Structure 1
Amino acid sequence: MSQFQFSPRTYRLIAIIFLVVIIGIAVAIVHFALPRATIEITAKADRSLAVSTFTITDQTTADDSENLSHINGTIVLTEATKKEVFTPQGQGKKVPERVRGTITLVNTSTLSQPLLSTTQLQLEEGGMIYRTQKYAIVPAKGELEIEVLADTEGVEGELKGGQKLVIIKLNSSRQKSVYGEVREPLGGGEKTIAIVTQADMDTSAIKLQATLREMAKKTLEQKITTELTEDQISYSPVSTESKNKVGEETSEFEIAGELNATTVQFSQEDLLKLLKQQYTISLPAGYSLLGFNDHSIKWSLESVNEDATEATIRAEMEVFATLTPNSDVIDPQELVGLKVNDIKEVLLSNPNISAIKVTFWPFWRNTAPPFPHRITVVIENNEEDLE
């Protein structure tokens, strides 16, 4: 019996198949066992805030120089009080009122002219009589402002600017050289009487509170010779009282109010120094500090204790930091099996990263290796940010 033999063509086919299998196995080994990914990251400066709270205590009692959260300072107090008159806002009724206002007495002669209190004046054509409210001497060749009050109530007593008043008791010759001039209109011949409501009281108290706060703020600024913002002052609730009552019928009502205000005075240099120290200590591993914007520092008053011996402030300042070159803040485990776009999406969420370049080996791979140790992360700083 003759032995079966493959033809040369068959041997060639078998050899080709074997070679393809070997190449396939090699490719599979390279693809699955030896893949690599290199991720080059360009870091940038990130602008953030250094934020911290500090305790302010009186310089004469504090002894805490080693505490990075303590600043020697002074608690500064003031009180503001004021009375204001308001008008009821409800619909009311008009009632007559005596006109009151200021006129100018003119003396064109070379002799002064004394005038008793309640000296009578009247328009040249007659009508309403007005009386001065105090004794006065009109100087020779001079003028004098004085308050007058109409004898009777009503709008007919109102005067227009430019009108002339004669002094009734002077003789006709003297009346020509000594007289009154109405330079600004005098109104008030009637007033509106309305009922004071709770809304009137509440609205007026709010307006008075704003006035008191502004007064207190100015006083504190004068005491510490520094301008303050509203959030650097602690105000007590405003205390108000009024002789007028809700439901009362009147043309105006008065409210008296008072409040206390507190701020702190301390060394801005101390605050700047401690805020920098606290941020530097708390800077996470893998990050480098580029610098602080000293001019951006600001603070606000958070609280003051009942005895006004201790206060808490909140301070913040602009700071710039970046990733440290070749730091390990990027965890390769988070990138396992991800595509290029997915890797960029994950990493660019970090505000300290400006650009990413991803390279896979072998070249045909489109995902990161399944093993984190096969992923290399290289971090470089943007030189423009460091200038």
Structure 2
Amino acid sequence: MKLVIYKLLALLAFASALGLGIITLHFTLSHAEVLITAREQGKTRQTEIILPITFANDENAETDEIKKLREKVLKDGDENAETGGYGAVAHTIPISIEAIIIPEGTGAELEDYATGAVTIISELPFAQSLVPKTRLLTPDGILFRTTNRVTVPSRGTVEVTVKADQKGKNGDITPTTFTIPGLSLERQKLVYGKSSEQFTGGARIVKIIASTDLERGNSEALAKLAEKAIQDFNERGIVITRNRIFLRDATFESDGKIGEEKEQFAVIASAQAYGVNFDEETVKDMTKTSFEADLPDGKDVLGYNDESFSYTIQEINPETNEVKIATEIEGFTTLDATKKIIDLKELAGLSANEIQTKLLTNEAIDAVEVRFSPFWVTRAPRIPEKIAITIKNAEEKF
């Protein structure tokens, strides 16, 4: 009996040792590998670049001295400036323009005299003269008069401008034929008129100027100022593009008032125009540096869409000799493979589906593949050190 008990105890001890060995082997061999494919993400970065600026006098065309100054500024910059050691040079001229604005608000309809062009046709064997204010009559009985003297050549034609005898929309006729009542009945059959286009002017709308019309007028005048600045700079031999123009101290004067009825009004605008030259590649590099500095931890730059780079002159300060340039560029980011994206403790003990679900909540992750080993393992080890994460970035396209 004792022998049987000893055998059972020995068997239990062996089973316990075997089970403990299997458990130890399981935890020793158990391993999880998580393969993450990062998603490429586009991001637009807007920033402000400040450069030291040197001002050139532009009373005349660009002189050799100014050219040398501009080249020196663009090449060397100001080594003591806090803007990265780069500079710009500005040319400045006063400009003024006049813009004619058509109100877009509601208004009153006013009657006027319609006008149009008529071709006088003669089948006579000799020339036929028509005095000013010769009457021309449509089949509907609408009367027009010529505005000047014409002579119709023998068996030929001549074009004449005619004006309605009465104000109103009735004069806005479609193409038609005309008789000339001042001629004899027989001659009216041989000398007559035809029109080929609609007559206009019988009624016109006089709009009421609204505040939005004045605002639009100032905006259109500002655009014309920039165009005039580019033209004037080019005439001085200084090539400047629109995004290098800055208009300072712009003023606007209008001969139209809110509530006034007018077909059109004028806006007189003036400003001091600055044309700024600087090294575009330098400003682009500074924008990229700002882009990278703004990235959150765990992100890396794949590349840039250089064609998206744009800039405008935002401000020029003659007192501090600085120019502020607003820039924008599109960059593409992905996960930084060297950075930790999740605490491994959060993945311990999870199934493959649970790991994928958890990681895919990160918008920077495109796909997740989970591999367990040995083959019988169905969950991640409880020990975080047994979980390995590998990040594969999106394919580089730049």
Which of residues 132, 136, 150 is equivalent to 1:123? 136
2:52–2:87: 8 Å Cα contact kept in structure 1? no
Partner residue, 2:69? none
Cα 1:303–1:175 shift into 2, 3 Å: same
Say yes or no: does 1:53 pair with 2:69: no
Report the Cα distance in structure 1 between the residues aligned to 2:250 and 2:54, rounded to whole angstroms.
29
**Identical counterparts, % of pairs:** 17
Say yes or no: does 1:21 pair with 2:16: yes
Q: Which ranges in structure 1 are unaligned for 5 or more consecutive residues?
A: 1-5
Say yes or no: does 1:81 pair with 2:98: yes
Partner residue, 1:3? none
1:35–1:369: 8 Å Cα contact kept in structure 2? no
Report the Cα distance in structure 2 between the residues aligned to 1:57 and 1:175, rounded to whole angstroms.
80
Map residues 1-387 of structure 1 onto 2, 5 A cutoff. 6-26=1-21, 34=28, 37-44=31-38, 46-49=40-43, 51=45, 53-55=47-49, 57=51, 60-61=54-55, 63-64=77-78, 67-68=83-84, 72=88, 81-86=98-103, 89=106, 97-104=112-119, 119-123=132-136, 128=143, 130=145, 132=147, 147-154=161-168, 160-164=174-178, 166=180, 181-189=194-202, 201-202=210-211, 204-205=213-214, 208=217, 212=221, 215=224, 239=252, 241-243=254-256, 246=259, 252-257=262-267, 266-276=278-288, 290-295=302-307, 297-301=308-312, 303-305=314-316, 310-319=323-332, 323-324=336-337, 327-330=338-341, 332-335=343-346, 337-339=348-350, 340-348=352-360, 349=362, 351=364, 354-359=367-372, 363-364=376-377, 366-370=379-383, 372-379=384-391
Cα 1:312–1:175 shift into 2, 3 Å: same
Report the Cα distance in structure 1 between the residues aligned to 2:366 and 2:205, rounded to whole angstroms.
70
Deviation at 1:71, TM superposition (A): 6.2
Report the Cα distance in structure 2 between the residues aligned to 1:237 and 1:269, rounded to whole angstroms.
30
1:35–1:361: 8 Å Cα contact kept in structure 2? yes
Report the Cα distance in structure 2 between the residues aligned to 1:281 and 1:243, rounded to whole angstroms.
50
Q: Deviations over 1:185-244 (max 9, x none)?
A: 435445678xx66xx52454466567556656766776667687xxx9999999574556
Report the Cα distance in structure 2 between the residues aligned to 1:162 and 1:350, rounded to whole angstroms.
70
Cα 1:345–1:253 shift into 2, 3 Å: same
Cα 1:286–1:183 shift into 2, 3 Å: closer
Cα 1:150–1:310 shift into 2, 3 Å: same
1:100–1:150: 8 Å Cα contact kept in structure 2? yes
Deviation at 1:315, TM superposition (A): 1.8
The number of residue pairs the alignment matches comes to 359
What secondary structure is seen at the aligned counterpart in 1 of 2:331? strand
1:121–1:165: 8 Å Cα contact kept in structure 2? no
Deviation at 1:124, TM superposition (A): 5.8
Q: Which has the larger radius of gyration?
A: 1
Deviation at 1:122, TM superposition (A): 0.3
Q: TM-score, normalised by structure 1?
A: 0.63
